[in-house]
Amino acid sequence: MIVCFLALNFFSCSSDDDSSSKNNDAEINAQEDEPLEINSVSSALIIEGATKKTGTLTPTGGLEFTMDYSKQSAFQKNGFEIEFNSASNYTGGYIQLKDENGMADSYFDVPRDEIYVSGKGEQTKKNRGFLKGKSAGKENDATIEVNLDESVTAGTFCYVICLYDAQGNISEPTEVCVTVEAWGGNSDLVGTWNFTKDIEDGKETKVNEVKCYSFNADICEIETAVNNCETINSLKLELNNDGTYELNEASIEESIDWDASNQNCQAIYEESNYTYKAIGKWAYSEDGKLTLVTFSDTEMYDGEVYNDNYENGDIDFNDEITLTESSLIINIIENDDNGNSYVDQYFFEK
């Protein structure tokens, strides 16, 4: 009788816990649908190099640009990016928030020098840890980075963007609506996930197996085939109920020793022990994407330690996942040199 009671009590508690978790997921999703007050959000936008002005904008036409989306996600503190394609003759952009009652009281004037343009300078992710900047972005030629003050909570708002030129032309506006994602959002993801294998470019590599990338390089002025190799010995992704995450990796890397190779006129390799730890926040969006926003990380190569902090967070990936009770698959879209897309997959188990 006591055993039956204990068993009944156990299953009842588990059911209650599951119900509570699902209710929490529903509350988070409902919060993301709540409209945010646009003047409060406008005061909390951070756009480097932009000037905030009062008033409204009057488009004149005469400038063309395109955006291939009308909705996007933002992340608390980290913010979002405004990406577009345009002609080369614009000198800046205007950004103004709006809601069903009209426009915000002020707008942002972003000069072109503060707009990242493809091919101008560098804007690449650090090549760090397992993630190594794998996440694919939109294929647009111009990007405005927008951060959020920490006062901005989960919810929704919209903005319009216009471009302008030196002759005083102002393009017709394009409107985009933003969902500021809450941290967490899917209780089924909570737990510790252990990496088991990946499939990159159609090739499967399991944990503790070596993976090599081949390329040609000049050694003693002779083109030589060389390899960079990596063995992931352990990789754990811990997703917590409060929306925080921690990722820990231990691996062995074998790379070309350029000095020794050129001295001996042949490829000579050196092996390094590598560990990586990242701490940040995670979010799950209703379109099935998992996002990791890193706020600090630590790399160690053969005992040498490198620490970094990211004030506004740094998105390590924002990609679709496949989730079952005990397995997590991260699906990352990549493009080859010919512009053809394919999916790399990373498999984890609880």
The pLDDT value recorded for residue 317 is: 84
Pairing state between β 142-148 and 155-164? unpaired
What is the phi/psi pair of residue 193, to 5°?
-110, 125
Q: Report how far residue 245's alpha carbon sits from residue 191's, in angstroms, rounded to the nearest whole number.
A: 10
The pLDDT value recorded for residue 18 is: 61
The amino acid at residue 214 is: S
3-state secondary structure of 260: helix
The amino acid at residue 190 is: V
What is the phi/psi pair of residue 84, to 5°?
-155, 165
Domains and CATH numbers, the chain: 38-181 (2.60.40.10), 187-349 (no CATH)
The pLDDT value recorded for residue 117 is: 78
Is the sign of the CA dihedral 29, 161, 311, 300 positive or negative?
Answer: positive
CA nearest 137: which of 149, 124, 154, 147?
Answer: 124
* Contact predicate 198/205, CB 8 Å: yes
Pairing state between β 191-200 and 203-206? antiparallel
Q: Report how far residue 168's alpha carbon sits from residue 89's, in angstroms, rounded to the nearest whole number.
A: 12
The pLDDT value recorded for residue 339 is: 78
Estimate to the nearest angstrom the gap between the alpha carbon of 226 and the chain centroid: 31
3-state secondary structure of 288: coil
CA nearest 230: which of 249, 255, 266, 248?
Answer: 255
pTM of the model: 0.84
Average pLDDT for runs of 10 along the chain of length 350: 38 52 80 95 97 92 92 96 88 96 96 79 48 53 94 96 94 96 96 97 95 94 94 97 97 95 95 96 94 96 93 91 95 83 93
